[in-house]
Structure 1
Amino acid sequence: MEGSGVEGIVIAGAGLAGLATALGLHRKGVRSLVLESSATLRASGFAFTTWTNAFRALDALGVGDKIREHHLLYERLLAFSASTGEPAAKLSLKMQGKSGPHEIRCVKRNFLLETLENELPEGTIRFSSKIVSIEEDGNVKLLHLSDGSTIRAKCITVLFLKVLIGCDGVNSVVAKWLGLPKPILSGRSATRGLAEYPAGHGFGPEILQFIGQGFRSGVLPCSDTSVYWNYTWYPSPDDGDAEESVAKMRSYVVAKLRAARIPAEALDVIERSEMSDVVSSPLRFRSPLALVRGSISRGNVCVAGDAFHPTTPELGQGGCAALEDGVVLARCLSEAFLADGAEHDPGYEAVTAALEKYAEERRWRGIRLITAAYVIGFIQQSTNPVIKFLREKFLSGLLAKTMIAMADYDCGKL
């Protein structure tokens, strides 16, 4: 493709938002090109909680049943006080929402990404293709790409495109070009892992949460043989060199959880788990006010997923909202690119209107998710005595119900 012009829709990033958008467009008969900076699909984080709203999006994309086959359906959520070890909230997940029954599973990220990739035509994803910069010449955008190994590559490819969709994560080049401010550090960090139990793990179909004493942790079985866990906390100088290696981080987390009276079977998950080489990462979010005022789209450029609404993980909605974005974006764009059922060349104004429609539909959804996640995280991890008392006596159940309510959302069909 070097030195050539490519007409059409270019998606920066082969994460959940990028692949969902590409697959949605493909289902409608519209072609796209996905540029991924890494050499392969990236599945950082191991797994993520996939709520009711995400499965509605996956069903719209035609892959929901393929995900269900390999992941457990949860029946309840149990939240425990890290101070006492006693249950602070019990919530049945076998309930009806506004649009049907709730459905929550913990899905392996690599399995979902590979499932989306396998549904796309060969050649849709171009790996080792990192956007270096974006230039504007009238209504034409020019993307300068490196080969993925270094942004100082001598050989630069230029693509001429009709639509640019930034699904390139929290450090999005596209979001920066649109003028969105950098995500804010929350002051918290997170580490994650995945444990395999070839003979079975024995956990029930439930989400286990441990809340308080400055941290939040979850243990979530993905299947009969695998269990995902996460741990978020406020780093401090007292943590020492915990973040230097996997072994030190694992020991740090186990020590913190053991002191909080976490059950032995939950500790075993962490002790036997595989962890990423990047043992922890700071949690960032985009200010809701930035999305009230900022440009989610401008002309023929927009953002989706973490490039649009990076959020802290307390709602478990980051990946779910990215899937929603993909469905809505594909629906809006396909209306512009299809005439009488066949793909055609829309004008700049039609593309701009389609992206504005997408931005209008998604703006307040993103704002609500970011705000709710931040507030829940603050309450769950606060060490303030008053908040701690309210959390353990009254708020834990309310927070759990808020998580369910935020997932009771339908992004619609393609």
Structure 2
Amino acid sequence: MHRQEESGEDIVIVGAGLAGLAAALGLHRKRVRSVVLESSPELRASGFAFATWPNAFRALDALGVGDEIRKLHLHIEGLRVMSSSTGEIATEVDFRHEFCCVRRDVLLQVLAAELPEGTIRYSSKIVSIDEHGDGAKILHLADGSALRAKALIGCDGINSVVARWLGLAKPSHSGRSATRGLARYPDGHGFPPKFLQFFGNGFRFGFMPCNDTDVYWFYTWSPSPDDDGVDESGARMKQYVLTKLRSSKVPAEALELVERSDNAPAAPLRFRPPLSLLFASVSKGNVCVAGDALHPMTPDLGQGGCAALEDGVVLARCLGEAILGGGGGGATGATEKERIESGLRRYVGIRRWRSIELIGTAYVVGLMQQSNNRIISFLREKVLSRVLAGRLVKMSDHDCGTLSS
């Protein structure tokens, strides 16, 4: 098929997920135009919902949509961690900070609605990237067309084409898997605004309300040979979760959550080895990555989506100011190409260590929470549960800043 080259796009963002839309909206707030390429025909809301800690709300406030998200979701007042083997409360933490369980589809719709019409181009899947002699990137799409970009931002998830082009290490399998669901109660669920977690017996299960009618739940476990095939269909996975929960000290209302949900597809939990990011080329010239394309991590801190929003704000600030000639954009008289490259290097300098710390901490916390080792299990239930809960809160105490230096 003949490929048509299209010109005129300064900033091309690949992926209309949290990081991609946050970056696009941040640039729009700074009056810098971008185009977002999304491979699917519409916004995707995989994952159902995500924990939204104070660091995420700071990013949402910087983007100008924080109050709208607050109105649509309940404020979660605290965390209760319980043993699924004994039913005892291991620790309880009252949140003195902002925390919600935000529906992913709602947030994506709010972000997209703030963008100029035509910013998101759906059914636009990148299959390869070439480099033009002047440094511009030529993006070849699945439909045979091509797009020229002065700056390329990969927000295309854990299987990122852009991350692969940069040469970043492939995400590793953590040895654990997860499934998630959303239970709907049209007449109201009646659950208190609490985040409940159960651990032990080789799994971690938790749930919390998003609003008055929707409750999000998750289940993570380490598959064994006996579990072969349970994740081949959502229906089998749902029954597997119900069987495991019925054999544990989990309350009946938690079982009802799973029963009320649609079939629950499972996926392996993967992460990018944190040390691989120490010297990796997170940016190369006028190309960089953000969100899961940069820092895929296990969900044990509830920081994947939050970090993606942070990325979007920092990237928009650094790149926007560089393009407009503001702070951090390189020496006076620098060319546009030099300013773009300088802005992306500045972004990487801010986000590299934060990404390494989040990935590494999430991995360790996950191992400790799900370990069947008798010594770790004893310490977890008697001592470590409060330490781990405190770590969740500490990692959320981060401020990515505003859209201005």
What's the TM-score once normalised by structure 2's chain length? 0.95
Equivalent runs, 1:159-238 vs 2, <5 Å: 159-238=147-226
Shift of 1:2: 5.2
- Which residue of the other structure, out of 384, 389, 393, is the alignment partner of 1:400? 389
Q: Is the contact made by 1:337 and 1:346 (CA closer than 8 Å) also made in structure 2?
A: no
* Aligned amino acid, residue 122 of structure 1: E
Deviation at 1:200, TM superposition (A): 1.1
State the shift of 1:339 in Å: 4.3
For residues 340 and 134 of structure 1, the distance between their equivalents in structure 2, rounded to whole angstroms, comes to 30
Structure 1 residue 247, shift from structure 2 partner = 2.4
Match of 1:320 among 285, 306, 310: 306
Deviations 1:261-314 (A, max 9, x none): 1011111111111245xx100010000111102111010000000000000000
- Matched position secondary structure for 1:4: strand
- Corresponding residue for 1:294? 280
1:143 corresponds in structure 2 to 139
Q: 1:297 and 1:340 mapped to 2: Cα distance? A: 20
Given candidates 337, 347, 356, the residue that maps to 1:358 is 347
**Equivalent of 1:133, from 116, 128, 151?**
128
Task: Answer whether contact 1:332 1:355 (CA < 8 A) is retained.
Answer: yes
Amino acid corresponding to residue 325 of structure 1 in structure 2: D
Distance in 2 of aligned mates of 1:166 and 1:213: 39
Inter-CA distance 114–275: structure 2 relative to 1 (3 Å threshold): farther
Report what 2:271 is aligned to: 285
| Cα deviation, residue 240, structure 1 | 4.3
Match of 1:97 in 2: none
What SS does the corresponding residue of 1:6 show, helix, strand or coil?
strand
Is contact 1:34–1:124 with CA below 8 Å preserved after alignment?
yes
Gaps of 5+ in 1: 95-101, 148-155
- Is 2:93 aligned against 1:107? no
Report the CA distance between 1:127 and its aligned residue: 0.5
Give 1:74's match in structure 2, choosing from 53, 71, 76: 76
- The residue aligned with 1:98 is none
2:205 maps to a residue whose letter is: S
208-217 or 232-241, which moves further after superposition?
232-241
**Partner letter of residue 279 of structure 2?**
R
Mapped partners of 2:47, 2:70: distance in 1: 20
Q: Residue in 1 aligned with 2:19?
A: 17
Q: Which aligned runs of 4 or more in structure 1 are off by greater than 4 angstroms?
A: none
2:331 is matched with: none
Give % identity: 63
Distance in 2 separating the partners of 1:244 and 1:179: 31
Which residue of 349, 372, 387 maps to 1:383? Answer: 372
The superposition leaves residues 359-388 of structure 1 with CA deviations (integer Å, 9 ceiling, x where unpaired) of: 000000000000110000000000000100
SS at match of 1:162: strand
Contact 2:82/2:198 (<8 A) preserved: yes
Q: RMSD of the alignment, in Å? A: 1.6
Distance 1:322 1:286 in 2: 15
User: Residue 235 of structure 2 contacts residue 263 of structure 2 at CA under 8 Å; is this kept in 1?
Assistant: no
User: Over residues 355-414 of structure 1, what are the superposed CA-to-partner deviations in whole Å (9 max), with x where a residue is unaligned?
Assistant: 000000000000000011000000000000010010000000110010000000110000
For the 8 Å contact 2:14–2:155, the answer to whether it is kept is yes
CA distance in 2, matches of 1:397, 1:357: 36
Asked whether the equivalents of residues 42 and 110 of structure 1 are also in contact (C-alpha less than 8 Å), the reply is yes
Letter in 2 for 1:10: V
Assess if the C-alpha contact under 8 Å between 1:71 and 1:105 holds in 2. Answer: yes
Q: After TM superposition, give the deviation of residue 241 of structure 1 in Å.
A: 3.4
Provide the rounded CA distance (Å) in 1 between the counterparts of 2:347 and 2:228.
Answer: 46
- How does 1:82-93 map onto structure 2 within 5 Å? 82-93=84-95
Residue range with higher mean Cα deviation, 48-57 or 266-275:
266-275
- Bigger drift between 345-354 and 128-137 goes to 345-354
Tell me which amino acid in the other structure corresponds to 1:358.
Y
Check conservation: 1:170, 1:307, Cα contact below 8 A: yes
Secondary structure class of the residue paired with 1:404? helix
User: What is aligned with 1:264?
Assistant: 252
Aligned CA distance change for structure 1 residues 257 and 289 (closer, same or farther; 3 Å): same
Contact conserved, 2:9 with 2:34, CA < 8 A, in 1?
no
Q: Which amino acid aligns with 1:319?
A: G
Contact 1:194 1:275 in 2 (8 A): no
Amino acid at match of 1:219: F
| Counterpart Cα distance in 1 of 2:36 and 2:186 | 36
Contact 2:40/2:122, CA 8 A, preserved across alignment: yes
* Aligned-partner residue type, residue 115 of structure 2: L
Matches of 2:359 and 2:99, distance apart in 1:
20
Aligned partners of 1:323 and 1:63: how far apart in 2? 12
| Number of aligned residues | 395
